[in-house]
Structure 1
């Protein structure tokens, strides 16, 4: 494998600033993201107050459903003692969702390994699964190549209720049919059969979006000792009971602080990443698997559309006795994460880091500092087939991102198009128009009122000539098809939907081509957390 690094393409102004000039954003974060900050974080933070034994019991209980490797057992023991964590999380997408889920896990593992050596203390990789999210439309699809076009393939089963991912079940027979549709789009390789059969087994063993996601991730990262936990796991909620109570007691202050911090961000032209409301309670109430966002109104916590209303005392009792009925939102999830885990660094993507920029005063409200927020590794994988095309056409990966390949495709077609043909067809149209105009004049001179018929006849000839023109174009494109496809393949593989590969494709395509050892091979690359986009030539 070969690694090349480039300036991040397709980034927002905020993320570009965070990557290239973090110091200018220091009023929004407690630490820059560099080694000095990581050293400072581990030296000045008191990690002794976490409920380590209870946390390890919760994670062990959860991971027992999927299988715990020896390395994971070692990490759990370290976490129980003095270990700190590098943590990142993601929604439970089908077949892991987009590739950046994999890249985030790789980032967590790579940074944890690096800091374990540097800090001389156990640094443990943890993956936090956002099973409490309820927007199933964000995670119920993948993109496949079909008929040489990119298609969004949506899992067809719909739930009548908008349940959280951890309680949204799938019909196993329907999921297998969906899997078959995906594999029909893939070329047959030496790995196809085993890969398909592995997914079939996991589909059969699990029944919710979150458990299916966790099972795949555990399969891919089993030997790395990646610890995983579902945010919606009931024993975790019980561990969080006291923390929910703190959030309820300070809800008004929290809402105000985040609202005003986001306004500061907006005044710098970085937008409003979470669109905070000062009256937000920043908690959901969960009923029968559905989440209802609460707001504060007249000393009540309400969800008006659902007719939900709790006094502060009532909500505190829920947090104490049935904490599984509460769920964090974008504001309280990072705070809860810090309360539960001894976090050295949080691995975040562009959107996550933007909303974390609104949370510095919120952390301070709870007498905490934000961890070091390290941008996740952003990666494009270049398969051998794509490398062959790049070499043949003499392009680089940035040529695809910049639009050079698309422009070259148009130029290639133009160079092979005989412009005399459409010009000649147009000249026939012009000549016909002149002759039909003369014909109409002669008819009118002889008082023969046939204008509608003349126009209809002329239009008929125009349509036939246009048909020939289109047929010429189609025949030309067909003649050039194999060459055109090479241009299209580069853009579809390296810039699908006019964006980064990792935001569109899921791992199944590249695993099918490169085999089951791909993840282990990617983990051997000596990545640098430098804000660059990593291009890996497989």
Structure 2
């Protein structure tokens, strides 16, 4: 398969914080433990091995076996679950919401990055084993973020959902109402072997499993089980009991707020945007009916917008008796993950890594090893015909990632038979006015304001003339402009990155299992570039 790449800065889609992190800028060194280079994993293994409570392993394995019962997992998955009992086995983790039918394409890229990194680690450290983990965000309650997917430019939305949607954790939601989505999806996807697989996958997942957690696990296992991916739902009392002491610290001492607030100020002072601001208590109270914030006032604890309240002693008793009812938010979930897993590295998108970078001092305060942070692979998938069209239009890969108006203006200027750049005229005008400023200084300084006003007016006039000329040329070159816009709209749906918009089924129906195998072969988790992968023939 033909592949190409551009650098992340050239894509124009990544924040300055992430670009500076990738370039290992010295200002950010205090916010992470080790940069994810191959030579750094050995020390990470040693540190995690010495700090991790290996007694958790048996509970982890028992929970996974329980969750996989009735799923008929592959031998690779069964073997990886068994390996987690051993002290020389470590994990690489990615996390993701329970998006309907996997949501956007980057669901695949996250998991593939994770699987491929475990393979590379095994080659470099053959005396250890490495298990790829997909941590399902079953405790998230933002239903509006997960209840749709995009296919062929159409939005397939889960409308007739469980009445608890948006009130409790999405993992609890029944799959009610997804039969209607299935009908629409089946009609859209058409026929053929790959289409039939996708219909079967959707039907088995959502129409034959009772809740969203089970459905998502089924899909992830069917696509990636043969590669050994282990899917974990951490909302389990057997796992949550290992987080009791940390949740107690959160309730009583509010360690995460104190530690991350300091870091947030430092990140802000460096000129970066803050991804997540911490709360005083970063825990929710979770039941099958609700997930609401826990608030402390005057020594008492309350569940937001309910009548539930406890004294200090009562809430600690509730925590001991029902740890599964205490749900970490985005600031606390990373710590919970690293407490219960023998994990070395977290793989996520730019937004995820941005909030992880706020957490190192909190981890240190709780004596939990901070994982290495790796940006997931990013890719643009195109057909050979689209690539040929780009070449005929004389658009470089870097130009393809420009905002559409910038791309069109640049190409119109390039292909026009007249010069639409008035920069020389503007420079000449500025030079002329410099002479007038000197003259005003020597005669009447009160004249300076009038000179300045006239300069601004004439420069603005040249700007307007340049814009009108460019607009006229766009009309004249209408066919060329339309072809440029059409190509970019195909590859950047909704003027956004394809991986953040398009569902994998759009490509799977065309290329089948080849889609996954080609991505597995061409996405290197430690290669810090944005990949462009070309499918099919011209």
TM-score by length of 1: 0.80
Match of 2:310 in 1: 310
Matching residue within 197, 200, 203 for 2:203: 200
Match of 1:272 in 2: 274
DSSP 3-state at the match of 1:206:
coil
Match of 1:448 in 2: none
Change beyond 3 A, Cα 1:152–1:84: same
Larger displacement relative to structure 2 (46-55 or 217-226): 46-55
- Provide the aligned length of Structure 1 versus Structure 2: 467
DSSP 3-state at the match of 1:402:
coil
Give the Cα separation in 2 of the matches to 1:255 and 1:505: 37
Give the Cα separation in 2 of the matches to 1:219 and 1:359: 34
Match of 2:256 in 1: 254
Matching residue within 46, 64, 78 for 2:83: 78
Give the Cα separation in 2 of the matches to 1:492 and 1:187: 23
Match of 1:497 in 2: 494
Match of 1:54 in 2: 59
Match of 1:142 in 2: 149
Give deviations 1:111-150, integer Å, cap 9, x for gaps. 11101111221011111000100001000011233xxxx3
Change beyond 3 A, Cα 1:61–1:122: same
Shift of 1:63: 2.0
Q: CA contact under 8 A between 1:381 and 1:537: conserved in structure 2?
A: yes
Give the Cα separation in 1 of the matches to 2:223 and 2:341: 24
Shift of 1:335: 0.5
Larger displacement relative to structure 2 (485-494 or 354-363): 485-494
Match of 2:137 in 1: 130
Give the Cα separation in 2 of the matches to 1:165 and 1:269: 35
DSSP 3-state at the match of 2:71:
coil
DSSP 3-state at the match of 1:347:
strand
**Root mean square deviation, CA, Å:** 2.9
Shift of 1:523: 1.1
Shift of 1:531: 2.5
Shift of 1:151: 3.9
Match of 1:29 in 2: 32
Shift of 1:189: 5.1
Match of 1:91 in 2: 97
Change beyond 3 A, Cα 1:289–1:512: same
Shift of 1:93: 0.3
Give the Cα separation in 2 of the matches to 1:523 and 1:151: 28
Match of 2:183 in 1: 180
DSSP 3-state at the match of 2:84:
helix
Q: CA contact under 8 A between 2:408 and 2:481: conserved in structure 1?
A: no
Shift of 1:358: 1.4
Q: CA contact under 8 A between 1:255 and 1:281: conserved in structure 2?
A: yes
Give deviations 1:390-426, integer Å, cap 9, x for gaps. 34434344322114687449978xx99xxxxxxxxxx
Larger displacement relative to structure 2 (189-198 or 48-57): 189-198
> What are the equivalent positions in structure 2 for 1:259-408 lying under 5 Å apart?
259-277=261-279, 280-403=280-403, 407-408=407-408
Give deviations 1:218-259, integer Å, cap 9, x for gaps. 110021010111132xxx332221413332234422321122
Give the Cα separation in 2 of the matches to 1:239 and 1:151: 40
Change beyond 3 A, Cα 1:237–1:268: farther
Change beyond 3 A, Cα 1:263–1:196: same
Change beyond 3 A, Cα 1:11–1:410: closer
Give deviations 1:202-223, integer Å, cap 9, x for gaps. 2222132232222111110021
Give deviations 1:137-177, integer Å, cap 9, x for gaps. 000011233xxxx3433221244332211111232xx4233
Give the Cα separation in 2 of the matches to 1:48 and 1:135: 32
Give the Cα separation in 2 of the matches to 1:197 and 1:526: 27
Match of 2:471 in 1: none
Give the Cα separation in 1 of the matches to 2:363 and 2:226: 34
Shift of 1:526: 5.8
Match of 1:463 in 2: none
> What are the equivalent positions in structure 2 for 1:151-230 lying under 5 Å apart?
151-161=154-164, 162-171=167-176, 174-186=177-189, 190-230=193-233
Whichever of the two has the greater Rg, that structure is 1
Shift of 1:183: 4.6
Q: Which runs of 5+ in 2 are unaligned?
A: 417-474
Matching residue within 42, 58, 74 for 1:69: 74
DSSP 3-state at the match of 1:160:
coil
Match of 1:112 in 2: 118
Give the Cα separation in 1 of the matches to 2:143 and 2:331: 20
Give the Cα separation in 2 of the matches to 1:195 and 1:396: 35
Give the Cα separation in 2 of the matches to 1:335 and 1:269: 26
Change beyond 3 A, Cα 1:311–1:65: farther
Q: CA contact under 8 A between 1:93 and 1:139: conserved in structure 2?
A: yes
Give the Cα separation in 2 of the matches to 1:487 and 1:188: 31
Matching residue within 504, 507, 513 for 2:504: 507
DSSP 3-state at the match of 2:174:
coil
Give deviations 1:327-356, integer Å, cap 9, x for gaps. 111111110111100111111211111111
Give deviations 1:27-58, integer Å, cap 9, x for gaps. 11122222233221112331552311111111
Give the Cα separation in 2 of the matches to 1:325 and 1:308: 13
